[in-house]
Amino acid sequence: MRVTKCFFSIILFLLICFPVTGLSAPPSQRYENIMVDDTVVALFDKETLRYEKDPYRDELLINVWIKTLSTNGDNSYNLSHYLFRLHNSEILSLDSLDYDATGQLSRKITSSYDPNKWVPILPETVSEQWYISVTEYAKVNAAKLKKEYNERMGINEKNRRNVFSFITDFFDM
């Protein structure tokens, strides 16, 4: 019994003084993988994904930040802020932030909303995979997203169906 206690004390001491490297951290709950052919091509931020009202049309958009990792293996990454149109399958880029391997901001591009800058999402492109992943997540979490939007916008219960009728129609397709 005494040998067992001593053995566990030594193991505990070694683990505290010399942490094991190479163990991966638990997956982040904040980001959702965007996959193409079993490969992660980007991640979208579930905490920033929300509905937004289009300022020029009577429709709701999906607002989300997408993280793309560098392909040169230096731990740099890009965060881009996008809006997605549900019915027209279009994308609008608002912000792009590049971070170097140390996590320092290295470049920032910001655009204001311009209704003329919407771009159609082309088939078989990475942006199509982004659109599919983001809209599928929104579909599964529609009730939560609707509730958050209504609370943020101060919309009462009576008007909720009118605001979200097109989203319901879109997801019922």
pLDDT in tens, 84-138: 998 889 999 999 999 999 999 999 999 999 999 999 999 999 999 999 999 999 9
pLDDT given at position 77: 93
Our measurement of the distance from residue 129's CA atom to the centroid of its chain's CA atoms, rounded to an integer in Å, reads 13
Say whether pLDDT at 162 is over 70: no
Confidence band of 39 (pLDDT split at 50, 70, 90) = confident
Answer yes or no: pTM beyond 0.85.
Answer: no
Q: Domain spans of the chain?
A: 32-171
List all residues 6 or more positions away from 52 whose beta carbon is below 8 Å from its beta carbon: 60, 61, 62, 63, 83
Which CATH number among 2.130.10, 1.10.10, 2.60.40, 2.40.128 corresponds to the domain 32-171?
2.40.128
Give percent of the chain above pLDDT 70.
Answer: 73
* 166/3 Cα distance (integer angstroms): 69
